[in-house]
Structure 1
Amino acid sequence: MRSRLGHHLTSCAVRVAGLYHELRQGYLGFPEGIARLLSRVCDRSYAMYLVNGAVIALGLRLSPFNGMDRANTADLLWLTGGFLTCTLVMAELTYA
């Protein structure tokens, strides 16, 4: 079982690396601005992964997010937008 999982994860990593290379080379046909934005997000994806847990832990304890109704769609959209914005800002600040 363990070797199958390792093989699957390696296969996924190779696919993502291939897509990233094609994006950087311009083979996917995205317009220049979108390709540059996607490339920037790909470069910072590991930083986003690292700060995501801290952003959620802090966000759930802070007062603006604490009183929100998570069953209300509008509140949920604000919550998701807030977490996404905080994650992107923190990832940008920690990206080296």
Structure 2
Amino acid sequence: MPRTTNSAPAPPDGYVWTKEAARLMSISVATLWNYHHLGKGPKPTRYRGRLAYKLTEVRAHVQAELEGSAQEPAESRPPEPRRPRRTKSAA
């Protein structure tokens, strides 16, 4: 009997699986998973027990990230004040 492959089914038209969405966004699958749970980034849809992302939403998110990073300076904390070094006291 021939062996069947365990390849993933094709996503619906206009959608991509999580791995491809992460690749298009230049982030890891774990980061995309975190985005999903934080409510950040494109909203996934369940299809056959897997998460599928709408290709137009993925591209829109990438474009928004590119436009946002070019216009706004990155938020960062001011540097912490330096503490003077402790000197060894002579005993």
TM-score scaled by structure 1?
0.27
Greater helix share, 1 or 2? 1
Larger CA Rg, structure 1 vs 2: 2
Greater strand share, 1 or 2? 2
